[in-house]
Structure formats: structure tokens, C-alpha cells
Amino acid sequence: MTTDQRAQSRPVTLEHVAREAGVSRATVSRVINGEATVDPRLRKLVEEAITRTRYVPNRAARSLVTRRTDSVALVVSEQEKRDVSGPFVGRIFTDPYFGRVAGGLLDVLRPRGVQVVLMLTDDEPSRAQLLGYLQQGHVDGVVLISSHAADPLPGMLSGTTLPAVLAGRPPAPTAAGLTSVDSDQVAGARLAADRLVAIGRRRLGTVAGPQDMPVAQERLAGFRAALDAHGVREVAVAEGDFTQASGAEGVRALLERRPDLDGVFVASDLMALGAVTMLHRLGRRVPEDVAVVGFDDSSSALASDPPLTTVRQPVEEMAAEMARLLLRQIARGGDGGAAGHPLSPVLFRPTLVVRGSA
């Protein structure tokens, strides 16, 4: 073996990463441990250097010192026995939102050698089994996706010492101890309403999400409030379940109630994709006859014909922030986690992306 080959076979160390990034070893260590005091510019340099050098932490040695597993759980919690399209697991892997969350988490966690374990729960036995697994020390923390106000899991996690971050705002007072990351849903829906009014649409409707979900409630409330401010008092409402099929059926129901409909806000891109397909089937041109605005700016927005005008919530950036907040809690030994003092909630601002549908 040559000298160069021996050099290439040696593991990359913190010192290598520090030299590559042009920072101190201590700074690299603080970035890897998710400490909040690192300047964002330096954090970016270190993360890029970790990627270039393919640095992998010595997990076994580190675990002996820190007693950590270097893994976190991404928990998707669904409400029990909901009447929705398709099985729970199938919806998880077909909804673009969940893939975007996973991608944002991995962008931050993978360079630090932290693995993500996907866990699903949708009834009382699976919640109890999940909580037992988490409390036995198999993971260092949890990122929780829970959208339903009646879901008891956020409150259950809030009563533990396990570091946890919630995607979205706490759905109930019992979950107030969880650190949370969300986008301003009301402001996003206002952007949709403003766009429809700005292009001259007045006979409006919306395919809302399930009204047992705070996120869907906020989007509907924001849309109605913005239209009221514009002097538009009548709004036809149909309720979907954030699936493509429910978007199609929702817009069909709106047209049955209001055949002169000329604009519709659909509370997710996946539902909007179904709505546009149904409008074409019913002989309505988009946007000439009916303008459509979605929400999310997911891959479904570009799959639509025409591509969707939509409200963008920066899901990948939000998920990356969840990962950083969770690492910060883990580094503090759980203080500030679920049973401690939660870190300040983070609220992202949505933006409007104008394409062909409105």
C-alpha cells in the first residue's frame, strides 16, 4: 500500500474537517453537537466541509462517553379510525409533505452521523407501544408530526423527559411543553385570497382540509378573513382530507352548489392536483374559467396542468430547523426538552408562487 493509499484509508477526524472549513476544532465539535451559539455562517462552512470530507463520527466511542444512541425518531401520528382515502401507511409514502420533512431532517442530521428512525402510530395500543420504546432509550429524541387536535400523543410526550420537537403548533394545552416549528397558516391563506381577488375573481370557493386539524382550521379562517376584508361575503366551502381524490370530489361539490364558480383556494397542492383534473373533466378551463390556488409548493404543484399557483411553506427549511432545535435539546441533556422548558417556537413566513393556474 502506498503512502497516499494509507492516508486515504485513515478515518477523517474533527481536525480534518476543521482545516477544510477554516475553523477551529472546537467550532466543528459545537456544530456537530447542535449548539445554538455557533454563527450561522460558520455552521454552514462546517456542514459543507463535513459533506466534502465525508466525515463520520466514531459513534461507538462517542456513545460510551455521551450515552447517546446517535439516532432520533421521526414519529408520524394519525388520529384513530379516520374516514380517509387509503390506508395510513400508504398515505404517508404518497404525500409529498412527509418526504420533504424527512429530506430537511437528513440534511442536518446525516452530516453529524445521526440516523433517523421512522415510526408510525394511529391507535391507543400503538401509542403505548411507541411511548414505551422511546422511553427505553432507543433514540435520543423525537420529531413529531401530529396534526389532529384530539391526538393524545403530543401531550403524552410533553410529560416525559425525552427531547422532542413538534412539526406545527401544539394542538392542545397539554402539549404546550413541546418546542414547535410551523409556518404562518393564516397569513398563507390570506396570500391565496389576495391573489384570487387581484386577478378579478369574485365567485369564490375553497376545498378546505379536515376541520379537526388546526392547520386546516387556520387556513380556512385566514381565507375567509381576507375575503371579508375585500368585501367578498359569500364563500362556498367543501371539506377534503388532504388527498388527491378528496380534492377532486371537493371541487365537484363546489360546482354543484355554485355553477358560476370562478376561483377556488384548495388547502393543499395534492388536493389541488385532484381539483384541476376534475375541472378539466367537467369541461372547465384553468385558469380561464376557474382559477386555482394551492398550498405547500410541493411536487404536486409542478405535476398539475397548468402548474399550480400556490402558497409556499418552506418545509425543508422548517424540518432542518426542527433538527437543529432537537440537537440543541439533546446537547443540553434534555433540559428544555419535553418535560423541561421548551425552546421558543419558530414561525416561518409563507410566500406566494405564481404559475399558470391563477
pLDDT computed for residue 257 by the predictor: 94
Q: At what angle do helices 25-32 and 40-53 cross, to 10 degrees?
A: 90
Parts of the chain belonging to CATH 3.40.50.2300:
69-183+315-350, 185-312
Contact yes or no for 294/307 (Cβ under 8 A)? no
pLDDT computed for residue 299 by the predictor: 92
- SS3 state at 229: helix
Does the bond joining 287 to the residue before it have cis omega, within 30 degrees of 0?
yes
The size of the chain, in residues, is 358
Q: What pairing do the DSSP bridges indicate for beta strands 142-146 and 71-77?
A: parallel
| CATH superfamily of this structure's domain 69-183+315-350 | Response regulator (3.40.50.2300)
Distance CA 297, CA 316 (A): 11
Contact yes or no for 326/72 (Cβ under 8 A)? yes
Distance CA 164, CA 149 (A): 18
Report yes or no on whether pTM surpasses 0.95: no
Show the low-confidence residues of the chain (pLDDT under 70): 1-10, 33-34, 36, 57-67, 79-93, 171-176, 333-342
Contact yes or no for 211/239 (Cβ under 8 A)? yes
Contact yes or no for 248/188 (Cβ under 8 A)? no
φ, ψ dihedrals at 81, nearest 5°: 55, 50
Parts of the chain belonging to CATH 1.10.260.40:
3-56
pLDDT computed for residue 34 by the predictor: 66
Closest CA to 79 of 167, 28, 154, 168: 154
Q: CA triplet 327, 47, 57: central angle to 5 degrees?
A: 65
What topology does CATH give the domain 3-56?
Answer: 434 Repressor (Amino-terminal Domain) (1.10.260)
pLDDT computed for residue 62 by the predictor: 52
pLDDT computed for residue 173 by the predictor: 60
pLDDT computed for residue 30 by the predictor: 82
Q: How far is CA 199 from CA 129, 133, 170, 269, in A?
A: 52, 53, 36, 20
Distance CA 99, CA 45 (A): 26
pLDDT computed for residue 84 by the predictor: 43
| CATH superfamily of this structure's domain 185-312 | Response regulator (3.40.50.2300)
- Three cell numbers at 172? 392542545
Closest CA to 265 of 275, 256, 255: 275
Residue pLDDT, tens place only, 300-320: 999 999 999 999 999 999 999
